[in-house]
C-alpha cells in the first residue's frame, strides 16, 4: 500500500476543497453547521473557528464535457507517459490511510479544510463537477491533473493565507505498514502564487521511503500547483520517480506544471468568456 504516495488529503485542502475527489468529511453535528443560512456573506463556523463566504463568481460554469476536453493527453505530458487506470477500491483505501496520517500531523490544516468543506455543504447546494486524469511512465514518475467547476464558491486571499499557514504548520506526515516495515514520510511547504488564475498556491512535498528491503532511505519530491479562475479550480500534482538501480530520484520535468497551468488558464478563460 506504500508503493504509491497518495496525497489526496493534502491536495484536497490545497485545492480549497473544490474537488469531488476529496475524501475528507465534515460531521454535520459538529458546530452550527445544520442551521447556518445559505446566503452570500454568511459566517460559517466549525471546530470552534469561522470563515466567511465570498460572493459567487459571474463567470459561466464549465460542463463536465468541457472539463474532460481540457485534460491533457499522455503525449502532451511527455514521452513515455501513459494514462493510469486507477483501482477505485485500492485508491480509496490508500486515500483513507493518508487522510488519517495527515489528520494526525496537521490538525490545524484539517480544522481549516473542515471549515471550507462546511461552506460547500451548507452555504451552497450546487455539487461541483470534477474530472481527473493520472499519468505515469516507466520511471514511476506521476502527474495528476484535477479540474473542478460549479461549486459556486470563490475563496478569498484571507482564506488562502489561512490554508497556507495551516499547511506549513504540519508536522512530518508518516504512514507505516506494520507487516512489511515499510514507511513513507512527507513534509509539506506551501506558498501563495499569482502566476495563474485569480488566486493560487504552490506546495512542495519532500518524500522519504524506508524499508527493511532497501539499503538506505529513498528520497523524492512532489509538487502541487493549484489555482482558481472564476469558478474553475485547477490542480496539477507531480511526483518524482525512482531509479530502481541507483535508488536516486528521477525528477518530473520542472517546466511541466507551469506549462500546463499556462495552457489550461488560457483555455479556461476562453471557455468562460463564450
pLDDT attached to residue 165? 93
Q: Return left, alpha or beta for 112; rule: phi > 0 is left, psi -120 to 50 is alpha, else beta.
A: alpha
Lowest mean pLDDT among 24-38, 60-74, 205-219, 242-256: 24-38
Please provide the distance, in angstroms rounded to a whole number, between the alpha carbons at the two ends of the chain. Answer: 44
Residue 194, number of CB atoms within 10 A of its CB: 11
Looking at residue 240, its pLDDT comes to 94
Q: Residue written as cell 538506505?
A: 216
Read off the pLDDT of each residue in 217-241 and give the average, rounded to a whole number. Answer: 92
pLDDT in tens, 49-99: 344 444 445 567 889 999 999 999 999 999 999 999 876 676 677 778 888
* pLDDT recorded at residue 251: 95
How confident is the model over 212-230, as a mean pLDDT? 91
Q: What nine digits make up the cell of 48? A: 470552534
Helical packing angle, 88-105 and 107-118, nearest 10° = 120
Among residues 270, 256, 273, 233, the alpha carbon closest in space to that of 18 is found at 233
The predicted structure's pLDDT at residue 129: 87
Please report the pLDDT score of residue 149 as a whole number. Answer: 87
Query: What H or E segment, with its residue span, contains residue 129?
Result: strand 129-136
Cα separation, 206 vs 224, whole angstroms: 12
Strand ranges in 137-248 using DSSP code E only, listed in sequence order: 142-149, 173-176, 183-192, 199-210, 218-229, 232-239, 241-242
The pLDDT, as a whole number, for residue 10 is 42
What is the structure's pLDDT at 94? 73
271: helix, coil or strand? Answer: helix
For residue 237, list its beta bridge partners.
Answer: 144, 224
pTM of the model: 0.79
Portion of the chain with pLDDT greater than 90, in percent: 47
Positive or negative, the CA dihedral 268, 124, 198, 57 is: positive
Predicted local distance difference test score (pLDDT) of residue 203: 93
Residue 178 confidence (pLDDT)? 87
**Between residues 120 and 8, the one the model is more confident about:** 120
What pLDDT is attached to residue 155?
75
Chain segment 128-184, per-residue pLDDT in tens = 788 999 999 999 999 999 998 876 566 788 888 988 999 999 999 998 988 889 999
pLDDT over 90 (residue 191): yes
Residue 1, pLDDT above cutoff 60: no
Whole-number pLDDT of residue 207? 92
Distance CA 273, CA 85 (A): 33
Average pLDDT over all residues of the chain: 77
Amino acid at each position: 500500500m506504500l508503493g504509491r504516495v497518495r496525497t489526496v488529503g493534502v491536495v484536497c485542502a490545497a485545492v480549497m476543497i473544490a474537488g469531488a475527489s476529496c475524501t475528507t468529511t465534515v460531521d454535520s453535528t459538529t458546530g452550527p453547521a445544520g442551521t447556518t443560512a445559505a446566503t452570500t456573506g454568511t459566517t460559517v463556523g466549525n471546530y470552534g473557528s469561522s470563515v466567511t463566504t465570498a460572493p459567487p463568481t459571474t463567470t459561466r460554469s464549465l460542463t463536465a464535457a468541457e472539463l474532460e476536453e481540457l485534460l491533457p493527453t499522455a503525449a502532451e505530458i511527455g514521452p513515455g507517459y501513459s494514462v493510469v487506470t486507477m483501482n477505485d477500491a485500492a485508491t480509496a483505501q490508500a486515500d483513507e490511510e493518508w487522510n488519517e496520517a495527515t489528520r494526525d500531523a496537521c490538525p490545524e490544516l484539517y480544522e481549516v479544510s473542515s471549515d471550507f468543506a462546511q461552506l460547500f455543504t451548507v452555504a451552497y447546494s450546487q455539487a461541483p463537477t470534477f474530472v481527473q486524469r493520472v499519468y505515469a511512465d516507466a520511471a514511476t514518475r506521476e502527474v495528476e491533473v484535477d479540474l473542478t467547476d460549479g461549486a459556486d464558491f470563490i475563496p478569498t486571499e484571507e482564506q488562502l493565507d489561512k490554508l497556507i499557514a495551516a499547511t506549513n504548520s504540519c508536522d512530518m506526515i508518516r504512514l507505516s505498514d506494520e507487516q512489511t516495515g515499510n514507511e513513507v514520510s512527507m513534509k509539506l511547504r506551501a506558498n501563495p502564487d499569482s502566476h495563474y488564475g485569480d488566486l493560487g498556491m504552490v506546495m512542495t512535498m519532500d518524500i522519504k521511503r524506508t524499508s527493511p528491503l532497501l539499503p538506505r532511505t529513498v528520497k523524492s519530491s512532489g509538487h502541487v500547483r493549484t489555482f482558481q479562475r472564476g469558478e474553475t479550480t485547477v490542480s496539477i500534482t507531480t511526483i518524482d520517480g525512482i531509479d530502481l538501480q541507483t535508488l536516486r530520484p528521477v525528477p518530473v520535468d520542472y517546466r511541466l506544471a507551469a506549462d500546463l497551468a499556462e495552457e489550461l488558464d488560457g483555455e479556461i478563460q476562453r471557455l468562460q468568456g463564450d
